[in-house]
Amino acid sequence: MLTPLPSSKWDYDAAGHLLVRAGFGGSIAEIQDLTNRGMQQSLEKLLNSVPAASIPPTWAYANSLRDLLDQIRSSTTPEEKVKARQAFNKANQGQMADLIQWWTQLMTDTNAPLLEKMTLFWHGHFATSATKVKPAYKMWLQNQTLRAHALGNFGTLTKAVSRDPAMLVWLDLASSQKERPNENFARELMELFTLGEGNYTETDIKESAKAFTGYRINRIDQQFRFAANQFDSSIKVFMKKAGPWNGDQIINIILEQPQCARFVVTKIWRFFVYEDPDASLVDELATKFRQAHYEIKPLLRTIFSSEEFYSDRAKGAIIKSPVQYLVQARRSLGVYAPAGRVLANIYRQLGQVPFYPPNVKGWDGGKSWINTGTLTYRYQIARALINGIRPEQAGLPKFPAKTAASTRQEPQGQNAVASMPSNLDGTPGQAVTPFPPLTPPWPVEKYVNSEDRSDVQRLLEKLYTQTFQSRPQPDLLKNFVKVASNKPLPLDDGSIRDLVMLMMTTPNYQVS
Contact between 164 and other proteins per CB under 8 A: no
Q: Which of 139, 319, 329, 346 binds other proteins (CB under 8 A)?
A: 319
Query: Which among 36, 46, 30, 8 has a CA at the least distance from the CA of 303?
Result: 46
Q: Torsion angle, CA of 138/350/466/438, rounded to 10 degrees? A: -80
Contact between 506 and other proteins per CB under 8 A: yes
DSSP 4-55: BPPGGG-SHHHHHHHHHHSSS---HHHHHHHHHH-HHHHHHHHHHPPPPPPP
| Closest to other proteins by CB, 300 or 394 | 394
b (16+ CB within 10 A) / e for 277-304 = beeebbebbbebbbebebbbeebbbbbb
| Closest to other proteins by CB, 132 or 149 | 132
State which of positions 344-363 bind other proteins (CB under 8 A): 345, 348-349, 351, 358-361
Residues contacting 198, CB < 8 A, separation 6+: none
Contact between 377 and other proteins per CB under 8 A: yes
Q: What character string, x for contact with other proteins (CB under 8 A) and - otherwise, covers 257-296? A: ----------------------------------------
Q: How far is the CB of 109 from other proteins (least distance, A)?
A: 28
Q: How far is the CB of 377 from other proteins (least distance, A)?
A: 6
Q: How far is the CB of 478 from other proteins (least distance, A)?
A: 10
| Closest to other proteins by CB, 334 or 373 | 373
Contact window for other proteins (CB under 8 A) among 21-29, 278-286, 290-298, 503-511: 503-511
Q: Give dist(CA 130, CA 414) in Å, integer.
A: 9
Q: Torsion angle, CA of 104/109/112/118, rounded to 10 degrees? A: 10
Element spanning 319, H or E: none
Contact between 492 and other proteins per CB under 8 A: no
Report DSSP state, residue 492: P
Contact between 502 and other proteins per CB under 8 A: yes
Residues contacting 394, CB < 8 A, separation 6+: 338, 342, 345, 346, 384, 435, 438
State which of positions 1-60 bind other proteins (CB under 8 A): none
Contact between 182 and other proteins per CB under 8 A: yes
Q: Give dist(CA 510, CA 324) in Å, integer.
A: 10
What SS3 state is found at 386?
Answer: helix
Q: Which of 364, 445, 451, 492 binds other proteins (CB under 8 A)?
A: 364
Contact between 191 and other proteins per CB under 8 A: yes
Q: How far is the CB of 183 from other proteins (least distance, A)?
A: 5
Amino acid at 362: G
Contact window for other proteins (CB under 8 A) among 26-34, 41-49, 94-102, 173-181: 173-181
Q: Are 217 and 165 in contact (CB under 8 A)?
A: yes
Q: How far is the CB of 391 from other proteins (least distance, A)?
A: 13
Q: How far is the CB of 66 from other proteins (least distance, A)?
A: 22
Q: How far is the CB of 180 from other proteins (least distance, A)?
A: 4
Q: Give dist(CA 132, CA 135) in Å, integer.
A: 9
Contact between 202 and other proteins per CB under 8 A: yes
State which of positions 388-447 bind other proteins (CB under 8 A): 395-397, 405-406, 408-428
Contact between 483 and other proteins per CB under 8 A: yes
| Closest to other proteins by CB, 72 or 292 | 72
Q: How far is the CB of 193 from other proteins (least distance, A)?
A: 13
Q: Which of 379, 391, 441, 461 binds other proteins (CB under 8 A)?
A: 379
Amino acid at 410: E
Contact between 197 and other proteins per CB under 8 A: yes
Contact between 233 and other proteins per CB under 8 A: no
> Cβ of 346: how many Cβ atoms within 10 Å?
25
Residues contacting 506, CB < 8 A, separation 6+: 476
| Closest to other proteins by CB, 155 or 357 | 357
